[in-house]
Amino acid sequence: MGIREDMPLLARHEGVWDGVYTYYNAAGDKIDEHTSRLFCRFPDGEGEHPYHQTNYYTWADGRTETRDFPATYADKRVWWDNDLIKGWAAEVGLDDKNRTVMLYWQRQGDPELYLYEMIQLADDGQSRCRTWHWIRSGQLETRTAIQEKLVTRDWRAVEKEMEAASG
């Protein structure tokens, strides 16, 4: 079986998502916020990277950042191992509502820092919320709260529009 069949909840996340990331320190003070556009892709065929996510971030002061996360797939998990992170994503089988995906990753070059993420997809598939807990040496360092709305499932069309606009 392939990734879509093994991970049907994750497959429901395919598309383009717009959202807001808000970061809080361990004391609960807001320390950063920016908007996002995420492309969650399941390229045709299994290939080397059957899941591929690209994140575009924009801050109010005009700064932008793009992060690319091609992933492999094995044992009902998506796996990342790139210059930024090493980790995995898996559906939470104990969630009988079939809404939850969990991620674990560690920043490359910073073995004391790791992160757990929970993603809850709305039943209608049109919105999702995500929370990250950044833990350093066993202590909470940062929380990230993310609210997102689905823009379209047709990520290919949006990519073509972006390429045309930049070329």
Domain locations along the chain: 3-166
Task: Give the pLDDT mean for 120-138.
Answer: 97
Q: State the pTM of this model.
A: 0.95
Alpha-carbon span 110 to 30, nearest angstrom: 23
Superfamily of structural domain 3-166? Calycin beta-barrel core domain (2.40.128.20)
At residue 165, the 3 state secondary structure works out as helix
Task: Give residue-wise pLDDT tens across range 23-52.
Answer: 999 999 999 999 999 999 998 766 789 999
Give the residue among 48, 52, 47, 46 at the shortest CA–CA distance from 14.
Answer: 52
